[in-house]
Amino acid sequence: MSSSSLLQASISSSSSAFFANTKINFNNRAQNVSLPAKPVGVCTCVATPQAEKTAFKTQVSRNVNIAKLQAGYLFPEIARRRAAHLQKYPDAQVISLGIGDTTEPIPEVITSAMAKRSHALSTLEGYSGYGAEQGEKPLRAAIASTFYDNLDIEEDDIFVSDGAKCDISRLQVVFGSNVTMAVQDPSYPAYVDSSVIMGQTGEYQKAVEKFGNIEYMRCTPENGFFPDLRTVSRTDIIFFCSPNNPTGSAATREQLTQLVQFAKDNGSIIVYDSAYAMYMSDDNPRSIFEIPGAKEVAIETSSFSKYAGFTGVRLGWTVVPKQLLFSDGFPVAKDFNRIVCTCFNGASNISQAGGLACLSPEGLKAMHEVIGFYKENTNIIVETFESLGFKVYGGKNAPYVWVHFPGRSSWDVFSEILEKTHVVTTPGSGFGPGGEGFVRVSAFGHRSNVLEACKRFKQLYK
């Protein structure tokens, strides 16, 4: 091979990676450039790659349980896809009926109480620092009398918090990593994800879209969205939400009586999420403690988020009855109190002032009016999809409408609706394998947006 051939081969070899990634037309450039021939000796070109910059790494290993989680948490993933859609269609009027975030203003009777408490903090007489980790006594008493009147729940059974979602994770810390867990399928993803993080589960099984060592209690239209408990294996903890997120279904008194008896027979603890109880239209229990014997086997968690628009204010509560005992006879409430005192300094005193105002006669009236507004939204959404021939569930007892798209991937339907109508919904499979083939549509939205979204649904599926 001639020396010029060697040079050409060397350049070609050392530069091929660069040339492959360019869009320059080198053939065209060659037509316009001519170089005089020179005598060339043997030339050796040595490619010297740039020293790679490596990030400093500690010697602390990652929590293997967090590594088990699949992709991102459902709602941030939806937000990411919404943002990507807006980049693609910057002028689109995107309507969000996906994440269950309230949209209507907090009633003035509630915000004025928070403002008053806030301004008082700037005075010597009105200032307060750390409060009781369990919550202020007047608010605990008001929660007990408003939601648990005649149910033998006392104010010191109630722990005020910064939201039900936070309390779910605190409860998981109480239970530890050695318990087994059951969830409705589909259900709010925080139950499963917190269980995975605590190390209560096995690996994710992609073929069945489930984590090992979790009992998925399938809830379908065929069983009225209440699991067949005869087929459910015994677990230590049972997470149960009624009215349910995402299906919108509410368990009857008879069904909850079965659930309490099932927990007693198996020595299990029910964590009952009643965050949507005030949306109930049917004559179903608003609290698990309406069921005889529930105080021996159940914890209840709830929130002001969807009642008073407190999704950003952050205020909730958890009820842990004194009668609830671990297998060694130790009260669960004492361990929960220990975790609260260790991991939490109490809910904001301003938020608690708002919570107390919520439970005044004027505050309760205002909350019911806002809830009534969202329930009207659900009626509009239900009527829209039913008019298009879809099977529709929920809406009556919860602010969610559960729409069936048989034989289709939930994420595909989510993408189709977003792409063609610029409306954000929630794919049912994000709530568990039992949600595949469904899409959740939230009723949280301004009326004009709900009407516009329904107009677009009709144009897409007419």
At 298, give phi and psi (nearest 5°).
-135, 150
Q: 113: which strand partners? A: none
CA–CA separation, 271 and 182 (whole Å) = 10
Q: Is 165 left (phi over 0), alpha (psi -120 to 50) or beta?
A: alpha
CA–CA separation, 161 and 347 (whole Å) = 5
Q: What is the pLDDT of residue 70?
A: 73
Pairing of strands 423-424, 392-394: unpaired
Q: Cβ neighbours of residue 302 under 8 Å, at least 6 residues apart?
A: 147, 164, 273, 274, 275, 277, 316, 317, 318, 319
Q: What is the pLDDT of residue 296?
A: 98
Q: What is the pLDDT of residue 415?
A: 97
The single residue listed with the structure tokens 């015994």 is: 234
Confidence check: pLDDT of 239 > 50: yes
Q: What is the mean pLDDT of residues 92-115?
A: 96
For 165-201, the DSSP string reads: HHHHHHHHHHH-TT--EEEEES--HHHHHHHHHHT-S
- At 241 the three-state DSSP class reads strand
- Amino acid identity for residue 153 in this structure: I
Q: Cβ neighbours of residue 198 under 8 Å, at least 6 residues apart?
A: 65, 172, 173, 175, 176, 177
Q: What is the pLDDT of residue 73?
A: 74
pLDDT in tens, 134-155: 999 999 999 999 999 999 999 9
Least-confidence region, from 62-76, 118-132, 209-223, 397-411: 62-76
Q: What is the mean pLDDT of residues 151-170?
A: 97
pLDDT in tens, 424-451: 999 999 999 999 999 999 999 999 999 9
Q: Is the distance from CB of 289 to CB of 143 less than 8 angstroms?
A: no
Cα 69 to chain center, whole Å?
14
For 81-140, the DSSP string reads: HHHHHHHHSTT---EE-SS----SPPPHHHHHHHHHHHHHTTSTTT---S--TT--HHHH
Q: What is the mean pLDDT of residues 173-197?
A: 97
Percent of residues, the chain, with pLDDT higher than 90: 85
Q: Is the distance from CB of 357 to CB of 106 less than 8 angstroms?
A: no
The number of residues in the chain equals 462
Q: Residue 134's closest CA among 174, 161, 153? A: 161
Domains detected in the chain: 1-49 (no CATH), 73-104+364-461 (3.90.1150.10), 108-361 (3.40.640.10)
Q: What is the pLDDT of residue 42?
A: 53
Least-confidence region, from 18-32, 103-117, 161-175: 18-32
Q: What is the pLDDT of residue 52?
A: 67
Nearest 5°: the CA angle 384, 390, 395 is: 60
Q: What is the pLDDT of residue 45?
A: 52
Q: 211: which strand partners? A: 204
- Tokens (6 digits) for 54: 């490596």
pLDDT in tens, 27-55: 444 444 444 444 445 555 555 556 567 89
Q: What is the pLDDT of residue 46?
A: 56
Q: 331: which strand partners? A: 325
Q: What is the pLDDT of residue 84?
A: 96
Confidence check: pLDDT of 17 > 70: no
Cα dihedral value 339, 345, 350, 355, nearest 10: 10
Q: 212: which strand partners? A: none
pTM (2 d.p.): 0.87
Q: What is the mean pLDDT of residues 82-106?
A: 95
